[in-house]
Amino acid sequence: MSHDQNTPWTVSLAAGGFAGAVEAGATVRLPHQSIPSSYPKQQQYPFEFAKTRVQLREQKGIPTPRNPFAVVAGVYRNEGLSALYKGCSALVVGSVAKDGIRFLSFDTIKETFKDPETGTLSPARNLAAGMCSGVVASIFAVTPTERMKTALIDDARNERRFTGNVQAVKLVLKEDGFLGLYRGFAGTTLKQAGATAFRMGTYNILKDYERVRDIPQTTLTNFANGSVAGIVTTLATQPFDTIKTRCQSARGATTVEAFRSVIADYGVRGFWKGTTMRLGRTVFSGGILFTTYEWAAAILNPLMRKQV
């Protein structure tokens, strides 16, 4: 994350959205004709699909395997290759919107949180700025797109009422109104607030640490910092992700109902269901996201400032 002062909001939005697009394109692989090339790499979309399936309630008499490869292979065998990509487009669109808004809001909020004397952010203020930007991203992008992604994945294994993204959105709006797109808002917002706080905060804390010690900011260090931030974020926010997934199933559930169902099904350990599958994506995506943002911002900043 760039620490240049007075970064134009257009740079934050454009660089963040572009980074989100690159991250989504690099970590989501669209289906090919054979399963062997589609699922061995953990950063590919089937593992996001598998993570969501594992977090949803098990069908009676059909326990969900813990091994992500077994989940992917079972769905491919029983439902076909296309089933593994249910909700994929919603995830991609959400990634672009989420990261554009998240970087924009973080760059804006961190200016308010900076120490007026030093112009820097303490670790606590870094986390607070990230938390606030996560709430903004949840409201304007993450909750509705995550709701539709999860609903599509859940519907595909049960009722199969959804035939596509547009039809699914129309049906949700018809049955539940506009608020139907915000099922799981509390869990999603808690997850986003925590995830953005840890992701942005960890990345910036590492970057400040390296600057004090004159460690060059290269593509390698940016990628490494982003990957570490991805690990910290995943481990710290997995319970919120699990609750969010239960809330955003095809029929939906309240946050309290989702919490109780996880405890009833698996106990406290159930809140970390899907951690390995999520790590496979977030470690890789974190490195790509921040590396791309730094690169795009470095190109756009001089161009935008010349126009001011």
For 136-180, write each residue's pLDDT tens digit.
Answer: 999 999 899 888 888 888 887 777 888 888 898 999 999 999 999
Mean pLDDT of all residues in the chain? Answer: 81
Whether 290 and 223 have beta carbons less than 8 Å apart is answered as yes
Q: Tell me how far apart the alpha carbons of residues 22 and 26 are, in angstroms, rounded to a whole number.
A: 6
Whether 294 and 2 have beta carbons less than 8 Å apart is answered as yes
pLDDT at 251: 73
pLDDT at 86: 67
Mean pLDDT of 18-39: 59
Q: Any idea which of 4-18, 94-108, 287-301 has the lowest mean pLDDT?
A: 4-18
Mean pLDDT of 191-208: 89
The domain tally of the chain equals 1
Q: Any idea which of 22-26, 145-149, 179-183, 298-302 has the lowest mean pLDDT?
A: 22-26
Provide the CATH number for the domain around residue 161.
1.50.40.10
Mean pLDDT of 99-118: 84
Quick check: is 269 in a domain? yes
pLDDT at 305: 63
In this prediction, residue 207 has a pLDDT band, given cuts at 50, 70 and 90, of: confident
Is the four-CA dihedral 158, 160, 165, 168 of positive or negative sign?
negative
Q: Provide the residue range defining the domain that includes 146.
A: 9-307
For 30-65, write each residue's pLDDT tens digit.
Answer: 444 333 333 333 335 666 777 777 777 666 556 666
Quick check: is 1 in a domain? no
Q: Tell me how far apart the alpha carbons of residues 122 and 73 are, in angstroms, rounded to a whole number.
A: 46
How buried is residue 145: exposed, middle or buried, by Cβ count under 10 Å (0-12/13-18/19+)? buried
Quick check: is 2 in a domain? no
In this prediction, residue 223 has a pLDDT band, given cuts at 50, 70 and 90, of: very high
pLDDT at 62: 61
pLDDT at 65: 66
For 119-133, write each residue's pLDDT tens digit.
Answer: 667 888 888 999 999
- 29 has a pLDDT exceeding 60: no
Q: Tell me how far apart the alpha carbons of residues 197 and 125 are, in angstroms, rounded to a whole number.
A: 10
Quick check: is 3 in a domain? no
Q: Any idea which of 110-114, 216-220, 304-308 has the lowest mean pLDDT?
A: 304-308
Answer with the residue of higher pLDDT: 210 or 91: 210
Q: Tell me how far apart the alpha carbons of residues 57 and 251 are, in angstroms, rounded to a whole number.
A: 12
Give pTM, 2 decimals: 0.69
- What are 302's two structure tokens? 């001089």
Quick check: is 117 in a domain? yes
- 288 has a pLDDT exceeding 90: yes
The rounded Cα 256 to chain-centroid distance in angstroms is 22
Quick check: is 167 in a domain? yes
Q: What percent of the chain has pLDDT over 90?
A: 28
